[in-house]
Chains A and B, each alone.
Chain A
Amino acid sequence: MLEQVAFAVAALLLLSSGLKVVTSKNLVHTVLWLGCMLAATAVLFVLLQAPFLAAIQLILYTGGLLTLMLFGVMLTQRDEGFVTIPNPSQRRVAGGVLAVVAFAVVANAVHNTPSLPNVRSAQLPTAQVGQLFFTQYALAFEVLAVLLLAATLGAIVLSRRADAGVASETPGADVPARRALPDPTAPTTERKEA
């Protein structure tokens, strides 16, 4: 009984915060609603008796969310101190179509999965999950690791290239956000004028 109630609350929270992520105009609010959504997903994992997944969900996604939030604040336009998202009304149709397609793909995948194992009886101790990573699913695990490494290297390469461009060519030309910031190394006379 209590489990059903917990599930209902978590599912409602998941759906409503998901909606809020899409409809919210304020970027920070959006990110916080996303956090709410991910936490509700972690609750669902707990209810499925997969506490390991729940903890991993919290650790990984919140770290990611925090960085997302920082970028959201640092790299977007500011309107009276609050970050706002430009009105996306002209892209509503395209967004709707995309959402329907994505839903169809996921629904099709779930529908075509032969039979989901009974999660409750198949509950694994964490040690066995770890062992499976290094035996049965070793290839997938390694491929994922390489993919993540590639993403990290790519991020470093891209950011280094931007740095080099700034140093050699016109300073700040490809980094528009920089123009708005005052130069901390500027001579003091300029500061007096401001």
Chain B
Amino acid sequence: MGHLIANAWLRGLVHGALLITVLMTAVAWISWFERKFAARVQSRLGPTMVGPAGLLQPIADAFKMFQKEDIIPRGADSLLFRLAPPLTLFLSLATAAVLPIMPGMLASDLDIGVLYALAFSGLLAFPIWVAGWSSANKYALLGGMRMVAQGISYEIPMVLCALVPVVVTGSLSLSEIVKYQAAHHWLVFWPPGIGVIAFVLFFTTALAESNRIPFDIPEAESELVAGPTTEYTAIRFGLFASAEYAHSVVSCALASALFLGGWDGPVLPPSVWMLLKTAALFVIVTWVRWSLLRLRSDQLMALCWKYLVPVSLALVLGAGAWVYVVG
């Protein structure tokens, strides 16, 4: 495939910078969208004062975050305390490197894109736990512990569900998986029945990995103040918040690339289709967040180990059988 920029290092740099800029800008207005959406769900208006329809609110928020006092607790492990927020953001953005936005446009067309994305989203529990531990605050530590428990457990069904497209297409590369879907069927529909269940489970576990309601147990505000981020103030807290949004968006994009055909679609250009699908999934994420209740910690574990893991194992077996019989 002909690339605009020949040097691989340079191409990675340019695409990466572009991707990060787009993602971080998107994250800012996604926070506006979520506030508006939440307000409508609760019969409020949401932000209205800054700019038309409150559209400039994210910029005002960013200024506010930068101006606020930056507090590091006296008992905290200050180096780790300061390291955790940027590391969280780094990991959630790093996953985006393998997202296929349109044919030929991705920072790195790795042979093992799916594994890469799963590896980095699995690492995310790490800096969040470090944040909880280094705060020297029991609520923060409890939140961090829950984060690790949840992260380790939900990673398993997530990886298994992501295996279904891999088994069907026979490739670990995200762009290959999207190309297969463009040529044959979208994988939500393709092994009929199996595909749609795998998609729903993948989306659910991705929600759990990115800590959204009904799975935001690590920072359950009614029990743990704000979980791992309890002691964080100012822009350090802002980094955590944007990392969470970035991770949600990246998970949605990953789900649409794996199951919804990625850039494939009629009339509109490929990148628009990819963005539309990601946006649609993100609307569902927000919708779920503002209409469902939070699960209890033990319910969360029971759901994962008693239902999601066996079902996703069966899905992988089913997909294997399908490929063996139908081809």
Contacts and interface: CB of A to CB of B under 8 A. Distances in A.
Interface string A57-90: 0110011011101100100000011100000000
Contacts of A127: 170-171
Given A63-B122, A126-B111, A70 B145 contact: yes
B148 A70 contact: yes
A55 B133 contact: no
Given A59-B118, A66-B125, A82-B77, A52 B111 contact: yes
Interface string B50-87: 00000000000000000000000001010010000000
B155 A126 contact: no
Nearest to A69: B129
A32 interface: yes
Interface of B: 9, 75, 77, 80, 110-112, 115-116, 118-120, 122-123, 125-126, 129-130, 133, 136, 141, 145, 148, 151-152, 155, 159, 170-172
Q: How large is the interface on A (under 10, 10 to 19, 20 to 34, 35 or more residues)?
A: 20 to 34
10 contacts: A2-B9, A51-B110, A55-B116, A58-B119, A58-B122, A59-B122, A63-B155, A70-B145, A73-B141, A126-B112
Contacts of A59: 115, 118-119, 122, 159
Name A's interface SS: helix
Contacts of B123: 58, 62
Contacts, number: 61
Interface of A: 2, 28-29, 32, 35, 51-52, 55-56, 58-59, 62-63, 65-67, 69-70, 73, 80-82, 125-127
A87 to B, nearest CB: 20
Contacts of A73: 133, 141
Of the listed residues A29, A55, A70, A125, the one surrounded by the most CB atoms of chain B closer than 10 A to its CB is A55
Contact of B152 (A32, A63, A80): A63
Of the listed residues B115, B148, B171, the one surrounded by the most CB atoms of chain A closer than 10 A to its CB is B115
